[in-house]
Structure 1
Amino acid sequence: MAGNSYREDKEEMRELLRQFENLRSGRQHSFLEEDSFERIIDYFDEKDELLKAMEAADFGIEQFPFSSVLMIKKADLLLAGRKYWDALEILEKAELYDSNDINLFILKTDAYLALDQQSKAVELLEAALLQFEGEERIELLFELADVYDDYEEFDKVFDCLKLILEEDPTNEEALYKICFWTDFTGRNEESIKLHLQIIEDYPYSELAWFNLGAAYQGLKLYEKAIDAYLYAVTIDEKFDYAYRNMGDAYLRLRKFKEAIEVLEKVLELSRPEDVIYEAIGHCYHKIGNFAQARFNYRKASHLNPDDSKLYYKMALTYINEEQWESAVKQLDSAMRIHRNLPEYNLAMGECKMQLRLFKEAIQFFGNVVRTRPKSVAGWEALIRCLFKAGFYEEAIEQCHAAIKITEGKSLFIFYHSACLFARKKSKEALLQLEKAMNKSPRQVKKLIDLYPAILQNQQVVDLIGRYKKGKKS
């Protein structure tokens, strides 16, 4: 039956086109109805034959000079041809015959926007909202939201979507869009109130539950967000975005095992994504399962081989296991993509230092200090490396530079003291140690980590002990 209907429509269209060709060529033809011209215009429009469509519109208007429908179709074609003023002129004429056709307002809006007259578009649509109701009013609200978006009046976009949902709480397009605009405008409290009302009336709206969760998440109310997402996935167990957001919420709460479980569900429901594998890798990293962390980081890197941070994260798992050479290989891959990132140079320097390749390590730590001169971590690593390599004079120079650039950080005064002790300059070293203890006695642990043998010096032990007693009293 459907096949027969299709063939009949095709035959009917062929006959209409034949009659139109007769009309164009001035040959004898039967009379074409107004709706026949509409079908012919639509046919040529769909085929992207705009000149023929325009010709059909002109013939139609010639035969039906009071047809607002044909005028509106012609205006649409004029807009496609970027003849905006001509389109507005014919729309004004069409409005005289039928001011209740919503397409008048939508096409006028398009013309005003194309002419960069957003204020006129807004004025037109706001007036039209008073004239229409039901589905047509909702269509105009969507149109107005788009105008406000172009005009960068983002709070008003949210207002339009809110109005739509107050009239039609299950409107899927509005539910999808308001989630983005809630996050963009930060109007989470309003979104929560709106969606709680929708849920009260429509408790099985998974989109409303999802949007509620997203709004709670925007306010960092992660437990409430997870509860809302759980309702969403109970209603629609294949709602991958709800699982994705739930995974993020669990991550924020440092509930890494739960995060892994829901993020793996995302992989089941949607195509593999590097960000999901990376997030799962991060969770395994945090719970100390470095092999699984690497496995997932590697999966992510196969999907996005140009993301240097994935190789860096794999390197960190090897560093945690003290597999320095394996870490170096991953850092080489990362640094082929981004050579000068301080984090990568810092990690590479640490690996080289642990492998006792001190000169190479110093070079990498030097890169960190040059790139980020106020980085305490960079200076600390450089001085530690120089000290371990036995380059005490160079370490002392770098301590002076670090103290100056970090405005007297006590850590570098402790390190200065350690270098002086290593150079057997005990008197000067004790003065620096006392100066550092005055500033920050807790940092003495860093000194002992750097130079454990210093505790064999009784003067040092006495000085540290004196500060501990002073603290107790």
Structure 2
Amino acid sequence: MHLDHDEEDYNLSLSKFESMLKTNKVLFFDSEEFEEIILHYLDMGKATLAKKALKLGLEQHPKSTGLKLVQVEMLVYDDKLDQAEKLLNELYAIEPTNEEIFIQKANIYSKRDNHEKAVEFLQTALKYTEDFADVYNLIGMEYLFMDNLELAKENFIKCLEEDFEDQSALYNVVYCFEFLDQNLEAIEYLKTYIDRNPYSEIAWHQSGRLYYGVKDYENAVRSFEFATYIDEEFVGAYMEKGKALERLKRYEDAIESYNKTIELDDPTSYALLRIGKCYEKLGNKVQALKFFNKTVHEDPLLDKGWIAITDFYVRQKNYQKALYFVNKALAIDDQNRLYWKRYATINKAMDHFEEAEFGYRKAVEFGDYQLDTWLFWVDIMQIMGEYNNAILTLIQAAEYFPDDYEIEYRMAGFHMLLNEEEKGNYHLSNGLRLNFKHNTIIKELFPTVWDRTSVQEYIAKHKK
């Protein structure tokens, strides 16, 4: 392998500098060599060596503006902003048209959270710079800090007009479009970008993501395919292509795409899970189960894996197996509300009411506030004859769902079972007001209450 001339010189400078440090012999470097050496050490996170190189550089080239600007960068890095600004003012007096002075001033004001002032300095830098792309990119970043996504987008687009290969600017443009809910506009922008740069796998990949977001799965697949033609090892594009193919119900093609990610890289639990789901959709239960097992083996902490295997057995009505796997999942993470809800549902199906009640209670305790969870829990309490606890639970549920007829009808039923007619009628009235049509909830859940003449009269009166 042959290094180009610049890279050879760069490596020689580095090895020469490091041998100088070991021997304590002072060797001469020109100021640009020192700048490269310092920036190399900064990039490597070796601040002490960078400071040594800077000190030696300034001793050999005390008037070098380039080295002093590197010194400013290091002062900013160390949060010595006042010192950095003082040095910049001195440099400005000598070189008032050096764009780097304005860029560093902007950096200081950005660090002070004065992003408007930072933009002013960068606008000035535009007058003197030859590297417009870099300055537009910096302006875009300042507008991002100010949450002005429109102006950020505008400047990232200008950056790409100057340098269409700037990938970070491309990602940022798409981010701005998406944040502004301008997905269709983003797609149109990427079309024009791809016309200029058809071999940008990033642009094709981002187009695919955007098409997927607007549910245009055919174009999403096409875009991801182009990304993989350009870069045959683009794992992310194969993964996203698999997702789009699933949406098109092309499960065999999706499996092929997910398998490609496993060939190119270590198998991810997500890819294994998706392959399992595709096989299940194809009716191949043996392969589905095989991949669900591989998923939980690959990543025991991925709750989607345990949920997939548990739900698989629930769909087969094999509740013993489902319970076995949900218990394994709970042994790994006993604070996962999704596991507890399934534990409750499975036990309910097996008529294990105490365990089901415990499961729903735990699901709510760990943050499952979905309406159906509250209602399933309360319905189990009814079976167990715990009417007072059911009422207390419904009061809690009503805090999250203050105008829900299902809660009100249940409250009415429980109060009437406890012969609390006034409270029962109050909640029955609420239920009838919120949704008269579903008053049959009382008939389904509380048949003895429904059969009461007083209840039928109350409903008839409300109908009138």
Fold shared per TM-score above 0.5? yes
State how far apart, in whole Å, the 1-side matches of 2:387 and 2:69 are.
Answer: 81
Instruction: Name 1:68's counterpart in structure 2.
Output: 65
State how far apart, in whole Å, the 1-side matches of 2:211 and 2:351 are.
Answer: 50
State how far apart, in whole Å, the 1-side matches of 2:165 and 2:300 are.
Answer: 41
Instruction: Name 2:153's counterpart in structure 1.
Output: 158
Change (3 A) 1:159 1:324: same
Instruction: Name 1:461's counterpart in structure 2.
Output: none
Answering whether residue 186 of structure 2 is matched by residue 191 of structure 1, we say yes
Secondary structure class of the residue paired with 2:198? coil
Shift of 1:122: 1.0
Identity of aligned residues (%): 23
State how far apart, in whole Å, the 2-side matches of 1:263 and 1:168 are.
Answer: 34
Counterpart AA for 1:138: A
Change (3 A) 1:345 1:100: same
State how far apart, in whole Å, the 2-side matches of 1:364 and 1:258 are.
Answer: 39
1:235-314 correspondence to structure 2 within 5 Å? 235-314=230-309
Shift of 1:317: 0.7
Shift of 1:328: 0.9
> Which deviates more from structure 2 when the two are superposed, residues 7-16 or residues 201-210?
7-16
Instruction: Name 2:212's counterpart in structure 1.
Output: 217
Shift of 1:217: 2.4
Counterpart AA for 2:33: R
Change (3 A) 1:178 1:342: same
Counterpart AA for 1:94: L
Change (3 A) 1:385 1:349: farther
Instruction: Name 1:439's counterpart in structure 2.
Output: 437
> Which deviates more from structure 2 when the two are superposed, residues 370-379 or residues 213-222?
370-379
Shift of 1:197: 1.4
> Which deviates more from structure 2 when the two are superposed, residues 83-92 or residues 311-320?
83-92
Instruction: Name 1:91's counterpart in structure 2.
Output: 88
Residues 44-65 of structure 1 show CA distances to partners (whole Å, capped at 9, x for unaligned) of 6736335544433443454xx4
Shift of 1:125: 0.7
Counterpart AA for 1:326: K
Answering whether residue 33 of structure 2 is matched by residue 39 of structure 1, we say yes
Shift of 1:320: 1.3
> Which deviates more from structure 2 when the two are superposed, residues 3-12 or residues 291-300?
3-12
Residues 60 and 70 in structure 1, CA contact (< 8 A), matched pair in contact too: no
State how far apart, in whole Å, the 2-side matches of 1:400 and 1:97 are.
Answer: 77
> Which deviates more from structure 2 when the two are superposed, residues 190-199 or residues 172-181?
172-181
State how far apart, in whole Å, the 2-side matches of 1:384 and 1:8 are.
Answer: 74
Shift of 1:124: 0.7
Instruction: Name 1:55's counterpart in structure 2.
Output: 55
State how far apart, in whole Å, the 1-side matches of 2:287 and 2:210 are.
Answer: 32
Answering whether residue 119 of structure 2 is matched by residue 125 of structure 1, we say no
State how far apart, in whole Å, the 1-side matches of 2:248 and 2:327 are.
Answer: 33
Counterpart AA for 1:321: Q
Aligned partner (choices 127, 135, 143) of residue 148 of structure 1? 143
State how far apart, in whole Å, the 2-side matches of 1:204 and 1:115 are.
Answer: 40
TM-score (norm 2): 0.71
Counterpart AA for 2:375: W
Shift of 1:123: 0.7
Residues 315-371 of structure 1 show CA distances to partners (whole Å, capped at 9, x for unaligned) of 111111222221111111233355465553443234334445444344435656887
Residues 410 and 443 in structure 1, CA contact (< 8 A), matched pair in contact too: no
Gaps of 5+ in 1: 24-28, 421-431, 452-473
Instruction: Name 1:203's counterpart in structure 2.
Output: 198
Counterpart AA for 2:163: D
TM-score (norm 1): 0.69
Residues 120-152 of structure 1 show CA distances to partners (whole Å, capped at 9, x for unaligned) of 21111122223334xx11111222233333344
Shift of 1:10: 6.1
Secondary structure class of the residue paired with 1:306? coil
Secondary structure class of the residue paired with 2:243? helix
Secondary structure class of the residue paired with 2:289? helix
Change (3 A) 1:412 1:287: farther
Gaps of 5+ in 2: 418-427, 448-464
Residues 162 and 178 in structure 1, CA contact (< 8 A), matched pair in contact too: yes
Larger Rg: 1
State how far apart, in whole Å, the 2-side matches of 1:157 and 1:187 are.
Answer: 14
State how far apart, in whole Å, the 1-side matches of 2:14 and 2:310 are.
Answer: 69
Secondary structure class of the residue paired with 1:310? helix
Number of residue pairs the alignment of both structures matches? 417
Instruction: Name 1:379's counterpart in structure 2.
Output: 375
Instruction: Name 1:466's counterpart in structure 2.
Output: none
State how far apart, in whole Å, the 2-side matches of 1:72 and 1:187 are.
Answer: 40
State how far apart, in whole Å, the 1-side matches of 2:357 and 2:163 are.
Answer: 66
Counterpart AA for 2:320: E
State how far apart, in whole Å, the 1-side matches of 2:19 and 2:94 are.
Answer: 26
State how far apart, in whole Å, the 2-side matches of 1:348 and 1:407 are.
Answer: 26
Aligned partner (choices 111, 115, 120) of residue 114 of structure 1? 111
State how far apart, in whole Å, the 2-side matches of 1:95 and 1:397 are.
Answer: 76
